[in-house]
Structure 1
Amino acid sequence: MVYVRKNVSRLTAGERRRFVGALLEVKRRGEYDEFVRLHIRHFRGDGERGLRAAHMTPSFLPWHRMLVLELENALRRVDDSVTVPYWDWTRNRSATSVPWTDDLLGGNGRRGDRQVMTGPFAYRNGRWPIRAGVTDDRFLTRDLGRARNPINLPTKADLDRALKDPVYDVSPWDSTVTKGFRNKMEGWGPDTNPWLNHNRVHRWVGGAMLGGGSVNDPVFWLVHAFVDLQWQRWQQRHRNHRYLPARPPGGSRGQDGRIVARHERLPPWDLTPDDLEDVSEIYRYA
């Protein structure tokens, strides 16, 4: 049966409670930290050797689609009424709006160490210790809006610029490309505007959301559910265009063996980007 992912602002009080409860239980079981470790292992950029499956690469979208699905499956093993909601950052744009409420994700970090002190994921409540990360922090941190050097969240116009591009991705298939939906959505920009869309949201949240350990903040899943929704919208708008590259690019511009083509295995799963282009029989967005 196809299930529904909802806008987090439209969750009922009961749905909020069950979503938070399932997250805390997955954390208690030790499963959650494995998702953090998985993301850290695959956090590889242009300047590093080897395959790029998760970031700065065409497979950014299917890789994170599968990661969210895996987390969602873990949540639904706890409570099969739970799905991952999405955060529409073009509408809920303040540090006090949804999802930054005490009954959902809690609020901003305090001054100084940026430790989150409110909500169910506050370290002082004892249920969300950071056990896997890229820093020594044992507690969840945030810096919503970047107090010392403020930035704004992406706008609907920013999303529209990505959605209008009919091509999925282009050579050299990395963070430097200026054309193609994938990088306009992932958000690697020029030096004058280095963070767009998805990347800018990570920067706006700050704290744990910076770098490979970003999964430690539960907002990660809401962000990537919204990114996934944009991919669906792009697919609906450009029905004759698909994931690229369709075939491995060979030695073209140093990308041989460094990216995943449409029919190649997407590590660490035994699936391909082609397998993950259509999820209409698994879930839909409301």
Structure 2
Amino acid sequence: MAYTRKNVSTLTASEKRRFVAAMLEIKRRGEYDEFVRTHIEYFVPDGEYGLRSAHMAPSFLPWHRQFLLDLERALRRVDSSVTVPYWDWTRDRSATALPWTKDLLGGTGRRSDHQVTTGPFAYAAGRWKITENITDEPYLTRDLGRAGAPIALPTKHDLDGALADPVYDTAPWDSTSRTGFRNRLEGWGTGSGSASWRNHNRVHKWVGGVMLGGASVNDPVFWLHHAFIDLQWSRWQNRHRGARYQPARPPGPGDDQEGRIVARQQRMPPWDMTPEQLEDVSRIYRYG
């Protein structure tokens, strides 16, 4: 039977406690840091040659769908009642609203060093030491809203612009694709500064701290954010019935993207899974 991923704003006090406890337990076991290492390994920019499966590529959505499923399965081995909630950043837009409460993820970082000092994932609580990251800091950092150069979270209008595109993805299948649902949602735009950060990318920038870059999994909000991104793929599929993952076939000889992206029926590293196998997960979970 399919289980339900809930909006974080609807979680009961017990559901919050159980989610936090399961996250802390897989961290204690050493399982969590493996997820961080995996994301760092597969965070390959399209300026580099080689296969891109996690970002700046069509498989951005199925890759993170499988990544979420792996994390969720680890949590459910600890507590079978736990699922990954989603954070609807078009509605819960305040730095003091859910999920930024003391009983869930804690709040923003302090001004001096952006260290998170509230909630169960604060370094001082003793159960969330950062070991896999780019800097030397062992504590979780955030800068919600970017106090020094403020930006706003994406709006429903921004999201609707992505959902309205009837084509999943388009050539050149990277961060420069001007049309296609995938890149409109992933959020690689033109220009410089905050105007070029859209939807998914803009949320990472808004949270700041360790959410900037390949080690973003070090912040538990990564999963709540990506559950909401995953929900958008489901909504897009419902809106555009019959629309499929693109490309259906891998780019041919002479194409700059040959061997660099995953086609619909190709294996998607690091799993023995294809995007096609992840297009329909209705038998596994649904969104409430």
- For 1:227-238, list aligned pairs within 5 A: 227-238=229-240
Question: Does 2:114 correspond to 1:122?
Answer: no
Contact 1:172 1:253 in 2 (8 A): no
What is the CA–CA distance in structure 2 between the aligned matches of 1:23 and 1:7, rounded to whole Å? 17
The equivalent position to 2:220 in structure 1, one of 218, 230, 247, is 218
- Residue in structure 1 matched with residue 146 of structure 2 by the alignment: 146
Q: Tell me the SS of whatever aligns to 1:275.
A: helix
Question: Does 2:256 correspond to 1:254?
Answer: yes
- Residue in structure 1 matched with residue 54 of structure 2 by the alignment: 54
- Number of residue pairs the alignment of both structures matches: 286
Instruction: Provide, for residues 233-276 of structure 1, a one-character-per-residue CA deviation record: whole Å limited to 9, x for no partner.
Output: 00000012100000001245410100000000000000000000
Q: Tell me the SS of whatever aligns to 1:162.
A: helix
Instruction: Provide, for residues 129-180 of structure 1, a one-character-per-residue CA deviation record: whole Å limited to 9, x for no partner.
Output: 0011122111000000001100000000000000000000000000001100
Please report the RMSD computed on the Cα atoms of aligned residues, expressed in angstroms: 0.7
The equivalent position to 1:198 in structure 2, one of 197, 200, 203, is 200
Contact 1:15 1:82 in 2 (8 A): yes
What is the CA–CA distance in structure 2 between the aligned matches of 1:252 and 1:79, rounded to whole Å? 50
Instruction: Provide, for residues 166-215 of structure 1, a one-character-per-residue CA deviation record: whole Å limited to 9, x for no partner.
Output: 00000000000110000000000011521100000000000000000000
- For 1:1-286, list aligned pairs within 5 A: 1-192=1-192, 193-251=195-253, 253-286=255-288
Q: Tell me the SS of whatever aligns to 2:225.
A: helix
Counterpart amino acid of 2:107? G
What TM-score does the superposition give when structure 1 sets the normalisation length?
0.99
Q: Tell me the SS of whatever aligns to 1:254.
A: coil
**Change beyond 3 A, Cα 1:252–1:186:** farther
What TM-score does the superposition give when structure 2 sets the normalisation length?
0.98
**Change beyond 3 A, Cα 1:230–1:110:** same
Instruction: Provide, for residues 92-113 of structure 1, a one-character-per-residue CA deviation record: whole Å limited to 9, x for no partner.
Output: 0010000000000000000111
Q: Once superposed, which parts of structure 1, at least 4 consecutive aligned residues long, lie more than 4 Å away?
A: none
- Stretches of structure 2 that go unaligned for 5 or more consecutive residues are none
What is the CA–CA distance in structure 1 between the aligned matches of 2:252 and 2:215, rounded to whole Å? 32
The percent identity for this pair of structures is 71
What is the CA–CA distance in structure 1 between the aligned matches of 2:40 and 2:252, rounded to whole Å? 27
- Stretches of structure 1 that go unaligned for 5 or more consecutive residues are none
